[in-house]
Amino acid sequence: MIREPNQARFPAEHFINREISLLKFQRRVLAQAADERVPLLERLRFLCIVSSNLDEFFEIRVAGLKEQIKLGSTAAGADGLPPGEIYQRVAEEAHEMVAEQYALLNDTILPALEKEGIVILRRSRWTEPQQAWVKEYFQREVMPLLTPIGLDPAHPFPRVLNKSLNFAVELDGLDAFGRNSGAAIVQAPRALPRVIQLPKDISGLDHCFVFLSSMLHAHVGDLFEGMNVLGCYQFRVTRNSDLFVDEEETKNLHAALQGELPQRHFGDAVRLEVADNCSEVMAEFLLQQFGLARADLFRVHGLVNLVRLMRVPDWVDRPDLKYPAFRPGRPKSLERRHDIFQVMRQQDVLLHHPFQSFAPVIDLLNYAADDPQVVAIKMTVYRTGSESVLMEALLRAARKGKEVTVVVELMARFDEEANLSIAARLEEAGAHVVYGVFGYKTHAKMLLILRREASGEGRPTQFRRYVHLGTGNYHPRTSGMYTDFGLLTANDEIGADVHEVFKQLTGLGRAGELKHIWQAPFTLHSKLIAAIQAEADAARTGRKGRIIAKMNSLLEPQIVSALYEASEAGVEIDLIVRGVCALRPGVPGLSDNIRVRSVVGRFLEHSRIFYFYADGAERTYLSSADWMERNVFRRIEVCFPVLDDRLKRRVMKEGLRPYLHDNAQAWTMDANGNYSRPPNRRTRSVAQESLLLDLGASA
């Protein structure tokens, strides 16, 4: 087992807490929903993204805090805050944010949508024809699926699925058996849509919607004939969704995970959301049923699950209210030639998604699957989607008799079920499926193709390796939504490095030395520290020291400490950190030379880029890893160099410089962990928009 080294060399007050920093990021996403410059339907989408992000925050981060508190733990991280204090601060911040979120929805976004003819119709506004349509729909589509459960000794409180829609009903009167429990629970089946579009001839609008919850509220009395409905309140419980698989006891990860997955839906409750009309008596009753405290109760003014509104922008055909459509560009080298292997032999190819298409990666795998000269394909799968075209290519290659090896990460959070399905299909086709190294998530993004090629007239054939390495997942859908870099190369030494990493993942033995790649959990951390210290050494002797790094999260205490020391030595450091950042920039005498910014825009910033001046060598790396403890110590990650000077300049021009100059979607962080946007400038510089233009993407 790889052990983590000692923690930070600086006191706790120099570090920002992870959970608090993560909620600051959610506020930056919420600000996109409030920004009038963002198209209206995209603002609604951002509002839903905040809800989805908060769901995961409670399922994982808050659930973890609650577990620590329950166990009596007072252990603190580098920030020095014990779990109880973190939870208290997080709960306060989350309540404030959710209140702002619903106020923005009800007071701004929904009225603005209505002005555009896109209406979410409340019950109080239904006309008689609309009421009749709703009643007929409810009787036909909803009523047959509902199973109301009266609460009495024979019917205890039901098991409520994680994040499911439910209704608590207060009743008065006696039923057919003379019972009067006073309460019932109605669970909305997952098969039912939560948002229903009214026909145009009924609504008079092209886009008019009603909530399933409104339908049920209107007709809940039909479920309890002869009784009086005193109140009907929608509620939703969020549960601990982190899977636990005991490393010491588990002999078969595949089987253990299959057994654990069903329990995810019924973990310990961590949050209760109720409609704001819920009575105090019912709210207290529900809290008791789920073992929650008042701080865990969220009263919301509207739908208890705003994620359900995410589909509305897709249903509404209003391009004027969405981001302009675009067509990703392609590198000129791949446009001119159809033989991708020939192109890779002649030069490395850099892909910048989503501004450039992900299609070359799909093409490469398709060519490899069908090319008789390709004898083996190896690939890592973290998240790819259960119906991925990449998986179809791997299946085809395996059926054609090629040696196909796929390292499937079964513990990719919330993708476990899809990855189990992928693994089963690949094994049935004859592929070798392995699950990496138990205890270490395989997060590296690697594709290795072995091709038999002629080496010259009269000479025997030889094997040549073709490689794709990326900062993002092999997921065609998210490649159009996340910013990532991918490198296509036939470089012999990088190919040998990738081969060595695959050998570790599939076999046994000591880790071999790699020529170019920095690999977690072995060398990545030490190489990063050494590169930072080299810049500090240069600055101390009067030479130029410069670091620019772009990532999703910065948390690892020793790396933060090394950056502080480099700043003290005079190194100029720019950090572009999308989400969580534990480092405090701009602290006098500590981090005067460090600037931190976060860019939140149309696309999710996902690429990891590390630039070190290195006495003019300008070493530039792309990576699957953030600067977090889990990435450098508990995951298998790769950090790979961009060796071609032309491509280095592209990484700087496209991946770093535009983000340092962005004055519209960038947020600057202060020493207290707060973020602010730069003042409005006459000339706006928007990194993502300029990249859409510069890389030839067009509508």
Residue 246 lies in a domain: yes
One domain for residues 527 and 654: yes
One domain for residues 392 and 487: yes
**Full domain range(s) for residue 66:** 16-321
Q: In 167-205, which positions are buried (b, 16+ CB within 10 angstroms) versus exposed (e)? A: bbbbbeeebeeebeeebbbbbbeeeeebbbbbeeeebee
CATH code for position 531: 3.30.870.10
Low-confidence ranges of the chain (pLDDT < 70): 1-8, 153-155, 174-181, 243-266, 337, 385-387, 411-419, 456-459, 696-699
CATH number of 243's domain: 3.30.1840.10
pLDDT at residue number 396: 94
Q: What pLDDT shows up at residue 266?
A: 56
Residues 495 and 532 in one domain: no
Q: Which three-class secondary structure state does DSSP give residue 244? A: coil
Residue 4 lies in a domain: no
Q: Which of 443, 475, 525, 606 is catalytic?
A: 443
pLDDT at 288: 95
* 270 shares its domain with 196: yes
Decide if 56 is inside a domain. Answer: yes
Tokens at 241, concatenated: 């969704």
- Angle between helix 83-104 and helix 40-56 axes, rounded to 10 deg: 160
Q: pLDDT value at position 77? A: 85
Number of domains in the chain: 3
Judge if 315 and 393 occupy the same domain: no
pTM for the full predicted model: 0.91
Q: What is the pLDDT of residues 159-186, one digit of tens each?
A: 899 999 999 999 887 665 555 668 899 9
Q: Is residue 443 part of a domain?
A: yes
Clarify whether residues 337 and 188 are in a common domain. Answer: no
100 plus 32 within the same structural domain: yes
Catalytic annotation on 443?
yes
Q: What is the pLDDT of residue 255?
A: 47
pLDDT score recorded for residue 435: 82
**Do 235 and 190 share a structural domain?**
yes
Location of structure tokens 């705003």: 306
Cβ–Cβ contacts within 10 Å for residue 342, how many?
Answer: 11
Distance CA 306, CA 190 (A): 16
Predicted pLDDT at 3: 44
pLDDT at 667: 97
Distance of alpha carbon 155 from alpha carbon 149, whole angstroms: 7
Q: What is the per-residue pLDDT across 104-120, written as a single tens digit (0 to 9) for each?
A: 999 999 999 999 999 99
Picking from 530, 501, 532, 529, the residue whose alpha carbon sits closest to that of residue 515 is 501
Residues 65 and 207 in one domain: yes
Please write the tens of the pLDDT for every residue from 433-464: 888 787 888 999 999 999 999 876 666 788 99
Residue 2 maps to a domain: no
Indicate if 508 and 523 belong to the same structural domain.
no
